[in-house]
Amino acid sequence: MDFLWVLLWMAIVAVLLCNLLAWTYPHYLLRYEFPFAICQRIIARLTENTFFMALRLDYIAWKLGFSNRHTVTRFFMNGLPIFKQDPRLHIKKLQFDGVPVKQYQPREDHTKHQRGILFFHGGIGIWCSTDTYERVCRYLARESASFVVSVAYRLAPEHPYPAQFEDCLKATIHLLKNAKEYGVDPDCILVGGDSSGATLAAAVCQELVKRTDLPKVRAQILLHPFLQAVDFNLPSYQQNAFNLLISKHMLLEIGLKYRRKYSVQAAMKGSHVPDDIRIKWKTWINPDHIPKRFKSRGYKPAPPTPFPPKVLEQSNEFFETTVSPLLAEDDIISQLPETYILTCEYDVLRDDGLLYKKRLEDAGVGVTWEHLEDAFHGVVIVLEIPVFPFSCATRKLDFVVKFIKGLHVSGESSLAGGVKAFTKGGGGI
């Protein structure tokens, strides 16, 4: 009898999954594009379908009262757990000034003091965790021989903005103050992140330039960052509006709306910014600053749209520099540390990175820039997962490792750090 019950439940689950697939797949075939030039298209399509099925299942479970909102998606985004220990790393959970973190430290010290890296995970402030980026942080620590700290900042909507920024800032300050206790060179601490984690990294670095009581951050690492909530009609937003994993609508509907109620439609059209403020920011956020080669896939300048005054009260939080670091004043930008920026062609956020690159270079800040022509947003989180072996994910992190190894710690010889990746105004768009 027990065997029959097991068969029955297996049949029910199979039927539910088939119905879920039948509901999900046509929806995305009709609405979402799949670029031909994307790396490993079959695996990318499988990744996309898995992600969107998780979103659908999350919605169903929430509506039926089986779970809280985002519970299922968070479970899927955490990925396959790693049960195998890495003999080359010492990994443990700690707290930095009350903020949970996970430490990855090479067992063999190549220098007296190692580089320190604060890493902030992505997930638009709602999803993902240190578990999602476990493979990424292991890779960075192992390959660059650095002390890596992955910060488990609080997630929305349970913890509304700016809780995420506050946690990342507290953890960074703790490491800057106590670097030597962890075997880290206080003059070689990097702050970085992926996607919304890169937003947090940029915001933290801007906040820290105001502090004279702490060691200076050596460099910031921004992997396809979100940097402005002013113009959602830049070329990359138009070209990749319906691309896989993160679309323009998803970014606005989920990634920003959790901060405060506002009009998604107004932001889609670009009518959420007053004309006088738009003119002020046009110096920094302007499609004319995007090189022509990035406009070749059918970009059309967006027509002007009227601004309803009531929208400003709903959306003015998006213009704070902790949300839109690209809007920081020149005196802050000019003091920022050496910067690494990575952009992907098939990513709505591509142009945010390009615009920040220009702002930093114009302010005299050294920039190393890499661009992946065949990659999409978020590809790094599937690094080294057996089912999703993306070569572009490894290439992406290899670029980062090269940059990190070019930053020499105290007492390290010029050859020990590998090839120096710093290039003033790097990348040469």
pLDDT in tens, 119-132: 999 998 999 999 99
- How far apart, in whole angstroms, are the C-alpha atoms of residue 347 and residue 380? 13
| Residue 195 among the catalytic residues | yes
- How far apart, in whole angstroms, are the C-alpha atoms of residue 403 and residue 421? 5
Min mean pLDDT across 22-26, 178-182, 277-281, 401-405 is at 22-26
| Residue 236 among the catalytic residues | no
Residues for the chain: how many in total? 429
Predicted confidence at residue 296, as pLDDT, reads: 84
pLDDT at 413 over 50: no
Residue 3, CA distances (Å) to 6, 9, 10, 12, 14 in order: 5, 10, 11, 14, 16
Catalytic residue among 231, 347, 352, 374: 347
Q: Which band of pLDDT confidence, cut at 50, 70 and 90, is reported for residue 307?
A: low
Rounded to an integer, the average pLDDT of 59-87 is 84
For 130-152, the pLDDT digits (tens) are 999 998 999 999 999 999 999 99
Greater confidence (261 vs 92) lies with 92
Which one of 173-177, 181-185, 249-253, 306-310 scores highest in mean pLDDT?
Answer: 173-177
Min mean pLDDT across 145-154, 273-282, 307-316, 358-367 is at 307-316
The helix or strand, by DSSP H or E, that contains position 404, with its residue range, turns out to be helix 391-405
Q: Do residues 153 and 168 touch, judged by C-beta distance below 8 A?
A: yes
Rounded to an integer, the average pLDDT of 393-406 is 88
| Residue 174 among the catalytic residues | no
Which one of 36-40, 74-78, 330-334 scores highest in mean pLDDT?
Answer: 330-334
Q: Which band of pLDDT confidence, cut at 50, 70 and 90, is reported for residue 260?
A: low
Predicted confidence at residue 221, as pLDDT, reads: 97
Residue 368, CA distances (Å) to 14, 110, 353 in order: 49, 25, 12
**Nearest-CA neighbor of 174 among 263, 278, 268, 96?**
96
Rounded to an integer, the average pLDDT of 203-223 is 96
Backbone angles phi, psi at 402, to 5 degrees: -60, -40
Greater confidence (408 vs 16) lies with 408
Q: Where are the chain's structural domains?
A: 2-77, 80-423
Catalytic residue among 113, 272, 371, 377: 377
**Nearest-CA neighbor of 347 among 314, 371, 319?**
371
- How far apart, in whole angstroms, are the C-alpha atoms of residue 292 and residue 306? 28
Catalytic residue among 146, 195, 196, 324: 195
Q: Class for domain 80-423, per CATH? A: alpha beta
Predicted confidence at residue 49, as pLDDT, reads: 72
Amino acid symbol at 124: I
Residue 346, CA distances (Å) to 88, 133, 193, 236, 366 in order: 35, 21, 19, 8, 25
Predicted confidence at residue 425, as pLDDT, reads: 37
Determine what percent of the chain is predicted with pLDDT higher than 70. 76
Predicted confidence at residue 419, as pLDDT, reads: 33
